[in-house]
Structure formats: structure tokens, C-alpha cells
Amino acid sequence: MENRIIPYGRQDINEEDINAVIETLKSDFLTQGPKVKEFEEKFASYVGAKYAVAVNNATAGLHIGVMALGLKKGDRVITTPITFAASANCVRFVGGEVWFADIDRDTYLLSFEKTKELIESKPKGFFKGIIPVDFAGLPVDLEAFRALALQHDLWILEDACHAPGGYFLDSKKQKQFCGNGIYANASVFSFHPVKHIACGEGGMVTTSSEEIYKELLLLRSHGITKENMSENHGGWFYEMQTLGFNYRITDFQAALGISQLSRNEKGVVRRNEIASRYKEAFNGKIKFQILPENFLNAHHLFVIEVNDRKGLYDYLHENKIFAQIHYIPVHQLPYYKNIGYEMVDLTNAEDYYSKCISLPMYPSLSDEEQFFVIEKIFDFYESK
Ligand SMILES: *Cc1c(COP(=O)(O)O)cnc(C)c1O
């Protein structure tokens, strides 16, 4: 036990996954082919969206996501400072302005009230969209955000990278899965190995809008389509209708994704068992992310807040428990500091960042390993 390395997250690759990749390598398709199509269909059906577009990573998905939603140079978009930089960077890729609103101190998610305040402090039309993040796997209350967005004519691009399988019950008690295309215009998922579903690199954009779907398809593949081919054209005919990219994923990565997706539900159940055990151990002693009623946290992360965070981080690392910090607030990263937008008060995010630490959270974490992690955390504070 003492020599075992325990990371904060880890992929789970089994024989079935490996065989699925090998089988695809022996087929006629290496780049985008039938496995990509199958992955898209299965993923769309899993989250309950009409359409899904697989891409080579979630950052690419966010990029073509904001483009498909019509983001242009100078347009302003609101997001949370407690996220991975890519949630904000996608706005910068097209020359847009990133505005941060503060987080909720209990859920660590983009605060609905702070977002509303920020929107209402500016004239109508000032902002174009919102990029809320299902941080740690906890779904954003998109029903509330949707109502706000409709009122102010804004789109919503949900960064659901942490939350495949997460859901909430809306006011009609309907189960709303992250990325189902009901309340967000589009949603983005990541298949980086630390996330729920590992493809090596990979991502998915889901939507229920045919218009957005078609735009995503174009942008993923150089802006090229064959859809206007008529009988007067030869088979080589194609049109480049817009300036797109090569953001395609390979068929063998999609084969891995399909195999991984089939275990996601089990993985989310296991992640919630691990979360329950942490909560039982820490209840009343150590603060952790609050789960609002009627929400299911998909638990990409399990975050606690502590004093002497650096001390605990170092102590855990000495014991080969590789806890991690999520995240350095995006507005404090040098690139964003140097841009120097008019900054609103982000004290919740800054206070959260001074205390947060993410504990090991992945389906293959054993009970024994988890007990060891909990024991070491209490050891650290009792020895002080
Ligand atoms: C991982 C992550 C991304 C980027 O995903 P990639 O697939 O690595 O590009 C974007 N947003 C969030 C919140 C993430 O956690």
C-alpha cells in the first residue's frame, strides 16, 4: 500500500477496449469512418440529444461550437473563472471577449445570480452568449440559465467535459441529462484519459438544432461538403463553403470510445459510491462540494476545501497520493491578466482557489486505496 501510486484520476482500459481498437485497425478505415458514425449515434442516444459530432478533442469542439453559434470578433461571452482554460480560450480563438462572473460558494459552479447581475449591469445586446461549466461533474441548472438567456437573447454553450451521465430534474421533474440539447444550444464533452471516457484524445459536440449540427459538420472538415452535387457534376465534386479545420477523430479512437461509453453508466455509479464514502468521512469536519437536491453529480472530481492546502498537497504527494488542484482561476492566468478586461468582483473564485484540492476519484480506485487516502488526510491535520 505504502508504495502504491494513487493519482487523482485514471483511465480504465480493458481487453474489450483493446480488441475494439485492434479490430478497427484491421478494417479499411483509419480516419473518420463507420465507427465515428456509430460513436456519434450511441453518444447522442446516451445523453438524449438529437445530434452528436465527434471531434479530435474538446478544445476543438468548443472552438467550432462557438463558431456554429455565430460568435464573431469583439462579441462578449460570460464564463466561469473556475474551469480549464479552454472553456474561455474558445472565445479568444475567434477574437471574442471573455467576461468572468463569480462562482457559487457552495456548488463551485458559475453563479446564476452573479451572471444575471453582470448581464443586467450592461445594455441589452452587450453579451452574446454564456459558457457554463458542469464543474467536477455537477450539472449547471440550465433550466434557470436558459430562461435568463432567452430574456437577453443569448446562446448557451455548455462545457460538459466533466459530466457525461450527470443530470438534474427540472421544474416538471423531467430528468435532464448533461448535453441533451434541451436547455443548452450545444454541449461539449472531452475524451481525454482523465475524463470519464478515454479515447487518447477526443471530444463530442451535441445539439438538438439541425442548423448548428450542419455547421459543426462543415467546420470539422475544412468547411467542405458534397451536399450540392447534382447529376451534372462528376464524383470528384465538392464545395468549400466556409473556412473550416481538420478536427476529425480517427475510427480506431471512436472504436475505443464506443467500448468505453458502454461502461460509463457503471462508472458514474462507482464514482458516486466513492463520493458517498468521502462525504461520510468528512461530514461536519471538512467542507466539500454541495450537491443540490434533484441533481446527480457525475463526479469527474471530488473537491474538498481545507486550510493549509499546500501542506496537505505536499503531505499527500509524499505518500504517493497525487491529489490535484482544479483550477487556478482563469482570470489569474498571465494571458488573461495581460488582456486586462474590466474585471468584476471574483472573490468567491479566489477564496475557493486558496482552499480547494481534488482527491482521487476514478472507478478503479479500490476501497482499500480510498481508506488510505482518507486516513492520510486525517493524519495530516491530527499531527499538526
Ligand atoms: C478537459 C477539459 C477541456 C478540454 O478538453 P480536451 O479534450 O483536452 O481538449 C475543456 N473544458 C474542461 C472543463 C475540461 O475539463
Look at residue 167 and tell me whether its pLDDT is greater than 90: yes
| Mean pLDDT score, 230-242 | 92
Phi-psi domain of 326 (left: phi exceeds 0; alpha: psi -120 through 50; beta: other): beta
- Banded pLDDT at 297 (limits 50, 70, 90): very high
pLDDT above 90: percentage of residues in the chain:
93
pLDDT category at 344 given cuts 50, 70, 90 is confident
Q: Cα(383) to centroid of ligand 1, in Å?
A: 37
Q: How far is the CA of 273 from the centre of ligand 1 (A)?
A: 24
Whether 80 is in the pocket of ligand 1, judged by its Cβ within 6 Å, is: no
| 57, 62, 84: residue to mutate for ligand 1 pocket, most atoms within 8 A of CB | 84
Fold of 265-382: Aspartate Aminotransferase, domain 1 (3.90.1150)
Across all residues in the chain, what is the average pLDDT?
96
For the segment 13-46, what is each residue's pLDDT rounded down to a tens digit? 999 999 999 999 999 999 999 999 999 999 999 9
Q: Is the pLDDT of residue 222 over 80?
A: yes
pLDDT at 339: 85
H or E stretch including 129?
Answer: strand 127-131
**Does position 384 have pLDDT exceeding 90, yes or no?**
no
Comparing 338 with 108, which gets the higher pLDDT? 108
Q: Is 58 in the pocket of ligand 1 (CB under 6 A)?
A: yes
Mean per-residue pLDDT for 331-356? 90
What local confidence, expressed as pLDDT, does residue 74 receive? Answer: 97
User: In the prediction, which pLDDT does 304 show?
Assistant: 98
Query: Are 69 and 130 in contact, with CB atoms under 8 Å apart?
Result: no
- Say yes or no to pLDDT of 200 above 60: yes
* Closest C-alpha to 110, from 49, 47, 61, 157: 157
Please tell me the predicted confidence (pLDDT) of residue 103.
98
Stretch(es) of the chain classified as CATH 3.90.1150.10: 265-382
The residue among 9, 40, 16 whose CA lies nearest residue 256 is: 16
pLDDT digits (tens, 9 = 90+) for 51-100: 999 999 999 999 999 999 999 999 999 999 999 999 999 999 999 999 99
* Cell triple for 269: 455509479
CATH 3.40.640.10, the chain: domain bounds: 15-261
**pLDDT, average across residues 131-158:** 98
pLDDT at 9 over 90: yes
The predicted model gives 162-189 an average pLDDT of 98
CB distance 300 to ligand 1 below 6 Å = no
The predicted pLDDT at position 340 comes to 73
Q: pLDDT value at position 2?
A: 57
pLDDT at 121: 96
Give the pLDDT mean for 190-207: 97
Q: Please provide the CATH number assigned to the domain covering 15-261.
A: 3.40.640.10
- Residue from 8, 80, 87, 303 to probe ligand 1 pocket by mutation (most atoms less than 8 Å from CB): 87
Q: Where are the alpha helices (DSSP H) in the chain?
A: 15-25, 34-47, 58-68, 86-93, 112-120, 142-151, 210-220, 251-261, 264-282, 309-318, 334-339, 347-355, 367-382
C-alpha 84 – ligand 1 centre gap (Å): 6
* pLDDT of 3 higher than 90: no
Confidence of residue 157 (pLDDT cuts 50, 70, 90): very high
DSSP 223-281: TEE-TT--TTS-TT--EE-S---B-PPPHHHHHHHHHHHTTHHHHHHHHHHHHHHHHHH
Task: Give distance in angstroms: CA of 86 to centre of ligand 1.
Answer: 6
Q: Can you tell me the mean pLDDT for 309-335?
A: 97
For the CA of 190, the nearest atom of ligand 1: 7
Give the DSSP letter string of 19-46: HHHHHHHTSS-SSSSHHHHHHHHHHHHH
Spatial contact of 123 and 153, defined as CB atoms under 8 Å apart: no
